[in-house]
């Protein structure tokens, strides 16, 4: 048990450092983009469309890569697969650390798009699978909540640091911390290969000729191409449990809303209330502090009495209310007030992942299950900017059919309401225990 706690602590440090490097640049990237593309203006349709296109391309890549990365981590280990995205994420940060002129920005844009197809979401996906390898079902929701709390802590620290650093220094610090995260992970984090954790070697979704038998000697290895999940594998995984398939639907609509917020909110606030880098940083800092406290202290207390299904529904409903507040904001203090809702909004992601993890059953399937959910989320991230970026640009322009600058945000609220309604159905679905899943898989 002590060994598992130590391994988890090194994972948390790795996630914190990686998250810090990611979040520290967020308050600055909008101003960098506007300066490179439309200097001297507060409204830039080109920036909105390019950001939306980038988000869609990243979503397409991650939709294909997440199931593959998750499945390969089941075979080769979480640490081995973590090395790739953490290393690739250094490159685009280093470019803007050198300069933020237009040419450097386009180089960053191209490389960020390519590397994020592998990096975006994969660190979180593999971290969740690593925890699932070492944490029992009953403690998994709390562990996932703590992981989210660590990410929120990185968000707070990164945003706070960005508040006091110049734009150039921000990207230099981000580059250094990204490299530090890789070095720390390679030195201190122990490998976690599911076959080594529990001795099981039969995958959950392999046909008869692909099953690995154990005869007292070393298990036979499959060719690499046999380990790449097919569409049929993913469909079978979705059909393996009603709760898992419903969780996948919730993940899709929730990620569609999150992707819409990413592609719309900052440009909406900048055009509506003339937010600058420091105001974005302050807003994110307040939300991050509230989220961290909630995930580290409040959520673990509520998991046992309420269950992750109810926490998921609460988080989605409050997220919907938050989006409505943003859409009708009548003053620049309203977005700050809306951050108070973060105390319950943050229940949704770890609860959703916990539900999916419990339905996956055997440990050697955690990477595949988390990769499947991440892939579905990435599919939503393809669609989100294609829908919400044009809506945002249209209703912030003078050509809007009617005056409602927050129209795209209210559409996001509707998307979250759909996710909330679907989440209510998870609780009514028949539960699937790990033992039952494993038994059914052995029959396959």
Q: Tell me: the pLDDT tens digits for 282-306?
A: 888 888 889 888 888 898 888 889 8
Same domain, 254 and 360: yes
Same domain, 183 and 317: no
Give the pair of three-digit tokens for residue 341.
Answer: 């809702």
**In this structure, is residue 210 part of a structural domain?**
no
135 part of a folded domain: yes
Whether residue 247 is found in the same domain as residue 188: no
154 and 59, same domain (yes or no): yes
* Residue 212 within any structural domain of the chain: no
Residue 423 pLDDT: 92
Same domain, 185 and 254: no
Query: Do 50 and 151 have their domain in common?
Result: yes
Quote the CA–CA distance of 111 and 95 in Å, as a whole number: 9
Contact call for residues 90 and 388 (beta carbons, < 8 A):
no
Residues 161 and 247 in one domain: no
CA–CA distances in Å: residue 326 to residues 294, 402, 410 = 21, 18, 8
We report the CATH number of the domain holding residue 156 as 1.20.1250.20
Which residue positions in the chain have pLDDT lower than 70?
1-7, 42-43, 194-234, 237, 360-365, 427-444
Please indicate, yes or no, whether residues 105 and 242 belong to a single structural domain of this protein: no
Query: Residues 368-383, buried b or exposed e (16+ Cβ, 10 A)?
Result: bbbbbbbbbbbbbbbb
Q: pLDDT at position 218, please? A: 44
Give CA–CA dist 35/167, Å, rounded: 12
Q: Would residue 177 count as lying in a domain?
A: yes
Give the CA distances from residue 82 to residues 72, 191, 302, in Å, rounded to whole numbers and listed in that order.
11, 10, 31
Same domain, 161 and 234: no
Domain assignment present for residue 213? The answer is: no
Measure the CA–CA gap between 110 and 104, rounded to whole angstroms. Answer: 10
15 with 104, same domain: the answer is: yes
> Quick check: is 114 in a domain?
yes
Q: What's the predicted TM-score (pTM) here? A: 0.71
Asked if residue 147 belongs to a domain, the reply is yes
Cα gap 15→76, rounded to integer Å: 20
Q: Quick one: 267 and 416 in the same domain?
A: yes
**Are both 188 and 232 inside the same structural domain?**
no
pLDDT at 229: 57
- 112 burial class (0-12, 13-18, 19+ CB within 10 angstroms)? buried
**202 in a domain, yes or no?**
no
Range of the domain at 321: 227-428
* Total count of domains within the chain: 2
CA–CA gap between residue 317 and residue 239 (Å, rounded): 27
- Smallest Cα–Cα separation from 121: which of 160, 81, 162, 159? 81
Q: Tell which residue, 316, 349, 318, 331, has the closest CA to residue 418.
A: 316
Residues 408 and 391: beta-carbon distance below 8 Å: yes
């Amino acid at each position: 048990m002590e060994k598992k706690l130590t391994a988890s602590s090194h994972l948390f440090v790795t996630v914190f450092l990686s998250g810090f490097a990611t979040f520290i640049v967020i308050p600055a990237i909008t101003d960098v983009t506007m300066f490179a593309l439309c200097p001297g203006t507060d409204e830039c349709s080109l920036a909105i469309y390019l950001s939306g296109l980038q988000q869609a391309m990243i979503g397409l890549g991650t939709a294909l890569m997440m199931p593959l990365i998750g499945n390969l981590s089941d075979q080769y280990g979480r640490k081995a697969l973590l090395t790739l995205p953490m290393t690739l994420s250094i490159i685009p940060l280093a470019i803007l650390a050198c300069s933020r002129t237009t040419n450097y920005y386009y180089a960053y844009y191209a490389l960020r798009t390519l590397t994020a197809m592998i990096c975006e979401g994969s660190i979180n996906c593999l971290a969740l699978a690593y925890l699932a390898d070492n944490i029992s079902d009953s403690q998994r929701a709390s562990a996932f909540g703590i992981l989210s709390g660590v990410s929120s802590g990185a968000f707070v620290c990164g945003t706070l640091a960005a508040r006091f650093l110049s734009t150039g220094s921000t990207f230099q610090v981000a580059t250094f911390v990204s490299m530090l995260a890789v070095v720390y992970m390679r030195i201190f984090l122990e490998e976690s290969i599911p076959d080594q954790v529990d001795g099981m070697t039969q995958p959950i979704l392999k046909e008869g000729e692909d099953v690995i038998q154990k005869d007292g000697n070393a298990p036979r290895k499959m060719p690499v191409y046999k380990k790449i999940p097919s569409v049929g594998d993913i469909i079978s995984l979705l059909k393996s449990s009603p709760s898992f398939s419903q969780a996948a639907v919730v993940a899709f609509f929730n990620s569609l809303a999150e992707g819409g917020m990413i592609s719309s909110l900052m440009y909406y606030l900048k055009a509506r209330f003339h937010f600058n880098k420091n105001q974005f940083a302050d807003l994110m800092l307040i939300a991050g502090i509230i989220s961290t406290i909630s995930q580290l202290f409040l959520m673990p207390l509520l998991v046992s009495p309420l269950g992750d299904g109810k926490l998921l529904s609460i988080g989605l409903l409050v997220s919907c209310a938050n989006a409505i507040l943003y859409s009708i904001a009548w003053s620049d203090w309203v977005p700050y007030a809306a951050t108070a809702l973060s105390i319950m909004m943050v229940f949704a992601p770890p609860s959703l992942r916990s539900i999916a993890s419990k339905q996956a059953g055997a440990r050697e399937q955690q990477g595949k299950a988390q990769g499947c959910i991440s892939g579905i989320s990435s599919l939503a991230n393809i669609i989100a900017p294609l829908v919400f970026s044009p809506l945002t640009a249209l209703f912030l322009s003078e050509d809007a059919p009617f005056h409602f600058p927050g129209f795209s945000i209210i559409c996001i609220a509707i998307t979250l309401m759909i996710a909330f309604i679907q989440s209510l159905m998870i609780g009514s679905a028949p539960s699937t225990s790990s033992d039952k899943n494993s038994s059914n898989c052995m029959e396959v």
